[in-house]
Structure 1
Amino acid sequence: MKPLVVVGDVFLDVDAEGVAERLCPDAPVPVVDVTSRWLRAGGAGLAALLAARSAAEVVLVTALGDDRSARTLAGLLEPEVTLVPVPLEGATVSKTRIRAAGQSLVRLDSGEGTASAEGLPDRAERALRSAGAILVADYGRGVTRNPRLREVLTELAAEIPVVWDPHPRGAEPVPGTRLVTPNASEATAAVPDALELPGLLRERWHADAVAVTIGSRGALVDDGKSVRRISVPEGAQVSGSATDTCGAGDRFAAAAAAGLLDGASVAEAVRVAVDAAARFVAAGGASALSVEEGRVSIADPKDYSAGNAFAVAERVRAAGGRLVATGGCFDLLHPGHVSLLRQARALGDALVVCVNSDSSVRRLKGPGRPLLSAPDRARLLTALSVVDAVVVFDESSPVAILERLRPDVWVKGGDYAEAELPERTVVERYGGEVVLVPTLPGYSTTRLVAAAAGQ
């Protein structure tokens, strides 16, 4: 099945939990002694993590900067979601709730970052076009205003289900969207009579259907044929006003998108989404996805992005050098991998390693792989002195990335017969050379995994 692709603005959510037992001496405000800090992905990041509960493969297209908050977000997201970044102008948005005794006292927002409107990276467009369904989680930080992104979404809306979770400061859904999922305040801000006449929203947005979420009462759905209210099932109802409903809208939209991806009708997808959102709130809401600070894997600031790989290629060519590249999954780095990389680096002046993304590895090796996420595999490779840069690709073969990278030498292990290499044609077409190097016998990730399982 094709992946569910989530598009939207992501930010870092922080809950600073503490105890408030006294007042500040210079103002009548509580003093909070912070005892712990909990981190989670917010916005479209939360939507993507929740989508991963309902869909086998989730890809997140979002704007990310180059700061600690962005690297923290990558560490929170990448174990479960394939991350496809687009440029962010400014600092990553972070929202910190100060809490005591389970109650939020104040929220501190920082970071002014907005998504760049300049074009759309090729990898992001390829991710969108590979989707079986798309969820747009708009949080008003510019991703949905990108002109090229909107063109692609408009084109794809005619072919696959697009679910749009709108935001008052965001762009309007593209025409042909299968389902728009505003909450009551968002709906009435767009059309004052939306709760009485939801068809007005559907007409305004040129959407196939609109589902207005109305909290504990479920959702009001207009699909152009009828208007109905889908109630929260009795077993999923939550009582109590202190319930934290943060993230309920994301859970609703993610479940609806997953349902449409599986072929459900709009009504059935909304029914599943109402139930999923209610159970999500009953289980503690977004706070249940938080990770205590200190237990989050912060992405290494070393740049192993595609941009860095191409920068290395340009420097080598400008100096008249010889660029070498190799590729593979590199899941559980072992001596056989290291031997291949050393031999490859000896053939030129710089070595770029093309690494299969997590979704690509799953297609090639099965649902139990990879054992390590793409960022972890990339970090291990870049730690080797023989590797100059790493680029991650989503396709099953590196043909598309080689078209752009154009190494002078493409290296594979000698266990590959030349006829088995789909990249051979493209490398030789631009004048490159394919070299097969001897492999170190007795080593393969599959064999190591099987041996470990046998123990």
Structure 2
Amino acid sequence: MKPLVVVGDVFLDVDTEGTADRLCPDAPVPVVDVARRWLRPGGAGLAAVLAARSAADVVLVAAFGDDLAARTLVGLLEPEVTLAPVPLCGATVSKTRVRAAGQSLLRLDSGDGIASGQTLPERTERMLRRAGTILVADYGRGLTRNPRLRAVLADMASRVPVVWDPHPRGAAPVPGARLVTPNASEATALVPDAVEMPGLLRERWRADAVAVTLGARGALVAEGSAVRRVPVPQRAHVTGRAAPDTCGAGDRFAAAAAAALLDGAPVGEAVRVAVESAARFVAAGGASALSVEDRPGTVAVSPEEDAFAVAARVRAAGGRLVATGGCFDLLHPGHVSLLQRARALGDALVVCLNSDSSVRRLKGPGRPLLSAGDRARLLSALSVVDAVVIFDEPSPSEVLERLRPDVWAKGGDYTEADLPERAVVRRHGGEIALVATLPGYSTTKLVAAAAGR
């Protein structure tokens, strides 16, 4: 089956949770004692992760920068979807909700990133043209105004279903979209007449159908000349929650509708599935249920920040930092043995892990077998590994410039002359340790054996 391609603006969403049982002495505002921070992809990133719950192959076309928030987003997204990035101008947008006792107290927004309108990478266009269905999750940060992207979307709308979730600050949907999914406030801002609204919007956007989402009341659907309401089925109603968290419900609706259209469902059935999916999503806790806790050792949080924090702590305590590196694709006993022996050389072990693109350059187009996020999670689960940092360069030299390990450990099948990073390690006073490896284990051999070759 062809992939479901999600197009749109991505953010880093953060939930800061704590308790608030006193007021600030200099202003009548609550003091929040922070207990936990949770991270998740926001915007089109959340829509893509939700689409991956319903479709086997999901591609995300979005603008990514080169800052800490962007790297955190990539770590959160790569295990779930295939990324097809376009350039971002400015800093990645991050939205932080401060919550206490389950209630949101305020939201802090940062980042000014806007998708570049100057180019559409060839690989990104190729992936768009392979789509079986396209979901546009517009969050008003410029991507849907890209002229080349709009031309491709308009062309694809005549070939495959396009679902467009619009935004007040975004561009209008391209003509021919199969389904446009504004919420009630977005729709009434454009057409105040509640009775005629869905049909007029369908004509305005030249779409096959428009579904105006109404929250707990379901959706109003205009298809052809008919307008009807699709209610939330009783079995999917939220129960036992005075104020359910509806964050992400619109993304769940649009993603479920797109997945249903990908499976060949007619529009009416796709909207029915979407209404029920969104209601169940809210009943299950909304977007917060998809968050990853921000804590030391949680790779998706920011593997690099964790690794460098570990290095700083070890140095401050007068300890000995060990680092090692590699692809660690399809973790096997040989890897574990290497890591155990490396960790025994010091007080903490940081693993420098090749990114997916770096592995492909080294091993060929069929690798890696597991994404960088999955490989990092497996490594972090080992008690001998204190942190993981992912690098994209041919060698880890740039990461080692910042880590400055006391020991750089590699398997005994290398020689020091084989290691281009040895100069960096030596310059910072570190040593090279070649440790014995467990013979007979190789990912390449294991893959060949599994394939019967």
CA distance in 2, matches of 1:335, 1:384: 24
Task: Tell me what 2:142 maps to.
Answer: 142
The answer as to whether partners of 1:21 and 1:30 remain within 8 angstroms in 2 is yes
Contact conserved, 2:92 with 2:111, CA < 8 A, in 1? Answer: yes
Q: Distance between the aligned counterparts of 1:222 and 1:381, measured in 2?
A: 48
Change (3 A) 1:355 1:278: farther
TM-superposed deviation, 1:126: 1.0
Residue 61 of structure 1 contacts residue 83 of structure 1 at CA under 8 Å; is this kept in 2?
Answer: yes
Retained in 1: the 8 A contact 2:76–2:373?
no
Q: Residues of 1 paired with 2:362 and 2:163: CA distance?
A: 33
- Which residue is equivalent to 1:409? none
Question: Which residue is 1:370 aligned to?
Answer: 369
The one-letter code matched in structure 2 to 1:272 is V
What residue identity is the alignment partner of 1:8? G
Gapped regions of structure 1 (runs ≥ 5): 303-328, 337-350, 362-368, 388-439
Does the residue aligned with 2:21 lie in a helix, a strand or coil?
strand
Aligned ranges 1:65-104 → 2 under 5 Å: 65-104=65-104
Give the Cα–Cα distance (whole angstroms) in 2 for the partners of residues 89 and 76 of structure 1: 21
The normalised TM-score by structure 1 is: 0.71
Aligned residues: 352
Percent of aligned positions with the same letter in both sequences? 70
Instruction: In structure 1, give the amino acid aligned to 2:369.
Output: P
Code of the aligned partner of 1:78: E
**Structure 1 match to 2:330:** 332
TM-score, normalized by length of structure 2? Answer: 0.71
How big is the shift at 1:123? 1.3
Range moving further from structure 2, 103-112 or 233-242:
233-242
2:111 is aligned to 111
1:297 aligns with 2:300: yes
Structure 2 unaligned residues grouped into runs of 5+: 306-326, 335-358, 377-388, 399-438
Residue 266 of structure 2 corresponds to which residue in structure 1? 265
CA contact (8 A) 2:236 2:279 kept: yes
* Aligned equivalents of 2:238, 2:174: Cα separation in 1: 34
State the SS of the aligned residue for 2:66: coil
Q: Give the deviation of 1:443 after TM superposition.
A: 4.6
Letter in 1 for 2:6: V
Q: Residues 268, 290 of structure 1: CA spacing in aligned structure 2 closer, same or farther, 3 A cutoff? A: same
- 1:161: how far off? 0.4
Q: Partners of 1:146 and 1:300 in 2: how far apart?
A: 32
Contact 2:40 2:291 in 1 (8 A): yes
Counterpart Cα distance in 1 of 2:214 and 2:131: 29
Question: What is the CA deviation profile of residues 288-314 of structure 1, one whole-angstrom value per residue up to 9, with x for unaligned ones?
Answer: 001110224256779xxxxxxxxxxxx
Contact 1:71–1:298 under 8 Å retained in 2: no
Instruction: Give the aligned CA root-mean-square deviation in angstroms.
Output: 3.2
1:424 aligned residue: none
Is residue 7 from structure 1 mapped to residue 18 from structure 2 by the alignment? no
Which one-letter code corresponds to 1:127 in the other structure? M
Instruction: Report how far residue 193 of structure 1 moved.
Output: 1.8
Residue 166 of structure 2 is matched in structure 1 by: 166
Change (3 A) 1:110 1:228: same
Q: 1:23 to 1:54 in 2, by over 3 A?
A: same
SS at match of 2:86: strand
The alpha-carbon deviation at position 57 of structure 1 amounts to: 0.8
Indicate the SS of the match to 2:25.
coil
In 2, Cα distance between the equivalents of 1:4 and 1:17?
A: 34
2:285 paired residue number: 284
- Aligned partners of 1:354, 1:152: CA distance in 2, in Å? 33
1:261 maps to amino acid: L
Structure 2 contact 161–178 (Cα < 8 Å) conserved:
yes
Matches within 5 A, 1:32-431: 32-239=32-239, 240-294=241-295, 295-297=298-300, 331-332=329-330, 353=361, 370-373=369-372, 379=390, 382=393, 384=395
What letter is aligned with 2:261? Answer: L
Preserved contact between residue 331 and residue 445 of structure 1 (Cα < 8 Å) = no
Whole-angstrom distance in 2 between the partners of 1:283 and 1:180: 25
Q: Deviations over 1:23-78 (max 9, x none)?
A: 11111111111111111110000000000000001110001110000001011111
1:297 maps to a residue whose letter is A
Question: Match of 1:105, SS?
Answer: strand
Given that 1:356 and 1:374 are in contact with CA atoms closer than 8 Å, whether structure 2 keeps it comes out as: no
**Is the CA contact 1:332–1:372 (under 8 Å) kept in the aligned structure 2?**
no
Residue aligned with 1:353, SS: helix
For the Cα contact (< 8 Å) 2:188–2:197, is it kept in 1? Answer: no
> Which residue identity lines up with residue 9 of structure 1 in the other structure?
D
Q: Distance in 2 between matches of 1:355 and 1:212?
A: 48
Task: Tell me the SS of whatever aligns to 2:28.
Answer: coil
Q: What's 2:25 paired with? A: 25
CA distance in 2, matches of 1:100, 1:175: 44
Contact 1:145 1:170 in 2 (8 A): yes
